A and B are shown apart, each in its own frame.
Chain A
């Protein structure tokens, strides 16, 4: 069975500081990995995804994530936080034949302090 663990339900950073949101997964088959973001009063939006190929993937708004198979991790990073990054972030996994049936982590609320 697949599962996703996001470490830290709340993360707070200062504006301009590094953002690091942690995600570990378990999967018996090569996974597809995703980060979604939910801004206040909006639906979830795809931030970035890993399917195959390059393990460092870049997403929107300056975010990137690196797939590390040996560590079963897919941490999300951004070098410099902006106030507009305040949102809830969700890591998700699925298998190649599961289409849109995603398994989500519990979410991490990111706060950005001025």
Chain B
């Protein structure tokens, strides 16, 4: 069974440009999460989808970030326009059971974003 896949693995863009990160969760997983790790700091929660609906987007930094999950399958995270402080590794994770309390997530390898 395929795991969580993320694309691209690394993206280098200029400040002010747009980048779109994609995440394909494990098939059948209704929960999809985005996390971010900036400059070796802690991994921080960005948002949570249940199927195609945003359940919790309290961690989204600002309105330059837009996440979508059309059809409840893959998800995209767009940063527009990108700023220097957006550099970091963006992780996607998925889990199967809605409302599952134990927080066991399956993570992708991450997409490293470098903004110059």
Q: Is A11 an interface residue (CB 8 A)?
A: no
Q: Is B31 an interface residue (CB 8 A)?
A: yes
CB neighbours of A43 from chain B (8 A): 3-4, 91, 106-110
Contact of A34 among B41, B42, B103 (CB under 8 A): B103
CB distance from B56 to the nearest CB of A (A): 6
Contact of B48 among A4, A32, A41, A99 (CB under 8 A): A99
Within A66-114, the residues touching B (CB, 8 Å) are 90, 92, 94, 96-107
Residues 25-58 of A, flagged 1 when their CB comes within 8 A of B and 0 if not, give: 0000000101010000111111001010000000
CB neighbours of A107 from chain B (8 A): 40, 42-43
Instruction: Place the interface of chain B in its size category.
Output: 20 to 34
User: A96 near B101 (CB under 8 angstroms)?
Assistant: yes
CB-nearest residue of chain B to A106: B42
CA–CA, A21 to B56, complex, Å?
31
Contact of A100 among B33, B42, B43, B109 (CB under 8 A): B33
CB neighbours of B110 from chain A (8 A): 43
> Given the known A-B contacts A32-B101, A100-B93, A100-B100, are A45 and B45 also in contact in the complex, defined by CB atoms under 8 Å?
no
> Given the known A-B contacts A41-B109, A43-B91, A43-B108, are A104 and B42 also in contact in the complex, defined by CB atoms under 8 Å?
yes
CB distance from B57 to the nearest CB of A (A): 11
Contact of A99 among B4, B35, B44, B100 (CB under 8 A): B100
Give how many A-B residue pairs fall within 8 Å (CB-CB): 75
CB distance from B75 to the nearest CB of A (A): 14
CB-nearest residue of chain B to A93: B103
Q: Is B104 an interface residue (CB 8 A)?
A: yes
> Given the known A-B contacts A42-B109, A43-B91, A43-B107, are A100 and B3 also in contact in the complex, defined by CB atoms under 8 Å?
no
CA–CA, A46 to B99, complex, Å?
18
User: A106 near B104 (CB under 8 angstroms)?
Assistant: no
CB-nearest residue of chain A to B94: A100
User: B103 near A98 (CB under 8 angstroms)?
Assistant: yes
CA–CA, A93 to B93, complex, Å?
16
User: B45 near A101 (CB under 8 angstroms)?
Assistant: yes
Question: Which chain B residues have a beta carbon within 8 Å of chain A's beta carbons?
Answer: 3-4, 31, 33, 35, 40-45, 48, 56, 91, 93, 95, 99-110
